[in-house]
């Protein structure tokens, strides 16, 4: 029944029908994660990076009562400029679809849509997680519960630095979500390459990651996995410096009684201000890098599936 809500661009439909590698992309990063025009420039560039590395991009969003698997250029522009775009996670799907509103998909929502469409690879910036003081607020992202149940691999630069990374990793461990470090033994913290925490497994090639993905799902072990891909060294921010900035931003959020889904956009915008725009440059760089790695892994995964590895 869910298929009635899905529509595909011709490029994505052709790729899926012919078992070609496809990489899902979210729209929340376009509508709520970056300002215009950097958001639309980033969206188009990332799609091209995926094509250049042998896969097909499928940017996902909700419009006119449909989950769109792949967006046209004009639709991308709409997500980049329309101020009324809603932020959609698992709980929001029925309301946004039934009301016909326009909705940008979060990590969790993009995973759901990708899984419905038969896409196993997803590139994003950073995942959500357990918020700082989460033991008091119980503010835990739906991204984590989605990773526990939905068969999509997520290439990211770790969890967003504004989160409690230690508790986020503990939650993922409890839910049985493998955390793979791509060419790293340390879990990255979005803006920085370090976090002080390790990964479950280090893998250094797309082929190793693709084989692990195929093995996991062949075993019937449902749920996703994290492919933690550190931001390139040239674009990374200093871990201690960004930590100080984040603490300042968190204090301001608390003083202004900002809560729920408004927290992350507020904090990212405040961090951008406090770093004089450097955090936005880092954000764009890490998304580009994640798209490249995701495309290469998607190619390797498809090959592993075809070869029965």
- Annotated catalytic residues are 26, 160
User: Over the range 129-144, which residues count as b (16 or more CB within 10 Å of their CB) and which as e?
Assistant: bbbbebeeeebbbbbb
Residue 223 in tokens: 């749920």
* Alpha helices in 175-238, H assignment, sequence order: 206-218
The C-alpha atoms of residue 191 and residue 305 are separated, in whole angstroms, by 33
Number of helices and strands (H, E) in the chain? 13, 11
- Ligand-binding annotation for 154, yes or no, is no
**If you ran DSSP here, which 8-state letter would residue 238 be given?**
P
Distance CA 150, CA 129 (A): 16
The answer to the question of whether 68 is labelled as a binding residue is: no
Q: Are 237 and 290 in contact (CB under 8 A)?
A: no
Residue 155, strand partner residues: 123, 227
Alpha helices in the chain (DSSP H): 10-17, 28-31, 38-52, 73-81, 93-99, 107-117, 134-137, 142-149, 165-174, 206-218, 239-255, 263-274, 278-307
Distance (Å, rounded) from C-alpha 60 to C-alpha 124?
12
Give Cα separations from 63 to 2, 41, 58, 93, 263 (angstroms). 15, 21, 15, 11, 25
- Name residue, tokens 């698997």: 69
**Is position 142 annotated in a ligand binding site?**
yes
Is 139 annotated among the ligand-binding residues? Answer: yes
Residue 80 near residue 1 (C-beta atoms within 8 A)? no
- 117 annotated as a binding-site residue: no
Tell me if 143 is assigned to a ligand binding site. yes
Q: List the binding residues for substrate.
A: 87, 107, 141-143
Can you say which residues are annotated as belonging to the binding site? Answer: 87, 107, 139, 141-143
Q: Which residues are annotated as a binding site for Mn(2+)?
A: 139
């Amino acid at each position: 029944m869910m298929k009635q809500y899905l529509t595909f661009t011709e490029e994505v439909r052709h790729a899926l029908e012919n078992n070609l590698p496809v990489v899902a992309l979210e729209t929340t990063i376009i509508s709520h994660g970056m300002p215009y025009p950097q958001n639309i420039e980033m969206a188009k560039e990332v799609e091209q990076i995926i094509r250049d590395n042998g896969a097909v991009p499928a940017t996902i969003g909700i419009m006119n009562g449909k989950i769109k698997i792949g967006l046209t250029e004009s639709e991308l522009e709409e997500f980049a400029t329309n101020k009324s775009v809603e932020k959609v996670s698992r709980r929001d799907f029925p309301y946004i679809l039934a009301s016909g509103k326009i909705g940008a998909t979060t990590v969790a929502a993009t995973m759901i849509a990708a899984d419905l469409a038969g896409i196993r690879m997803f590139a994003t910036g950073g995942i959500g997680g357990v918020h700082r003081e989460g033991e008091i607020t119980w503010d835990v992202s739906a991204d984590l519960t989605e990773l526990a149940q939905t068969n999509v691999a997520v290439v990211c630069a770790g969890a967003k630095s504004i989160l409690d990374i230690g508790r986020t990793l503990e939650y993922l461990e409890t839910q049985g979500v493998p955390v793979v470090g791509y060419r790293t033994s340390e879990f990255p913290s979005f803006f920085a390459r370090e976090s002080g925490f390790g990964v479950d497994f280090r893998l250094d090639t797309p082929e190793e990651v693709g084989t692990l993905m195929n093995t996991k799902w062949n075993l019937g072990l449902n749920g996703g996995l994290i492919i933690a891909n550190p931001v390139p060294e040239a674009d990374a921010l200093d871990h201690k410096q960004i930590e100080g900035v984040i603490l300042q931003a968190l204090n301001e959020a608390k003083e202004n009684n900002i809560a729920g889904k408004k927290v992350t956009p507020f904090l990212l915008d405040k961090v951008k201000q406090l770093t004089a725009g450097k955090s936005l440059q880092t954000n764009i760089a890490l998304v580009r890098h994640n798209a490249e790695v995701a495309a290469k892994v998607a190619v390797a995964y498809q090959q592993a599936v075809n070869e029965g590895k």
